[in-house]
């Protein structure tokens, strides 16, 4: 079983890359499941029904969320789909936080630091995974790298993969230990010549003044698509490698095998 994961897709530049390259990657690497985080996909904030249908039709199978999941009201209807997830942290929110079929379980979870108040993901995930025997993929949407590393060490040997999202900055610590693939942050898919996929004006003004600004996704930019491909034996990861696409150039930047 081959899994392709795409992290935070930021606005139209990110969606353009997905539409252009995902069908190519899916065929080239014989992908069985495409998982992607949707929380920044609609101009940086949340998701719309139109964009969901657009991305589903181009080949994304399961959508994971984050702290911007509920930024747009349209998501409430989309969460009725069993393949559109919201993070498990929310107490009484609509929708599901995991998707399960005969081969895979996909989980959407958030960290604690600098995230909306909610359930403790470490306690919830520890209890949940002990009862499962399938390949479990966790998108851990967290600000703190220490939280991501802690979850990896808590659950290694029990789940197939834990991959971080949220910071939009890709890390270089891909590894597989005890069959669990780990990467602190997959990085964004979208604009790469600005501030985490957003136009530079608003974040710079905020840093200088402390006053909140409206963030916009640039209409023109240099772009990047970042994704992780995992080869599984059914329950655990055997091999994984990261791909970066700079505008039109595809590069393999990291690779790991179980035990290395």
Active site residues: 68
Tokens standing for 215?
């963030």
């Amino acid at each position: 079983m081959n899994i392709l994961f795409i992290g935070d897709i930021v606005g139209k530049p990110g969606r353009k890359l997905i539409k252009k390259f995902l069908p190519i990657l899916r065929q080239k690497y014989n992908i069985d499941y495409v998982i992607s985080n949707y929380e920044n996909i609609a101009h940086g904030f949340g998701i719309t029904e139109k964009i969901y249908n657009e991305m589903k039709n181009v080949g994304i199978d399961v959508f994971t969320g984050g702290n911007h999941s509920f930024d747009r009201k349209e998501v409430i209807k989309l969460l009725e789909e069993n393949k559109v997830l919201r993070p498990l942290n929310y107490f009484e929110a609509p929708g599901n936080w995991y998707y399960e079929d005969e081969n895979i379980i996909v989980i959407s979870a958030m960290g604690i630091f600098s995230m909306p108040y909610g359930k403790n993901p470490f306690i919830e995930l520890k209890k949940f995974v002990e009862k499962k025997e399938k390949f479990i993929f966790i998108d851990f949407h967290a600000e703190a790298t220490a939280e991501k590393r802690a979850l990896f060490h808590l659950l290694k040997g029990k789940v197939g993969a834990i991959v971080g999202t949220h910071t939009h900055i890709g890390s270089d610590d891909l590894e597989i230990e005890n069959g669990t693939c780990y990467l602190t942050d997959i990085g964004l898919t979208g604009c790469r010549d600005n501030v985490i996929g957003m136009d530079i004006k608003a974040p710079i003004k905020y840093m200088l003044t402390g006053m909140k600004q409206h963030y916009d996704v640039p209409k023109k930019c240099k772009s990047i698509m970042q994704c992780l491909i995992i080869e599984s034996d059914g329950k655990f990861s055997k091999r994984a490698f990261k791909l970066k696409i700079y505008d039109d150039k595809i590069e393999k930047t990291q690779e790991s095998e179980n035990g290395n």
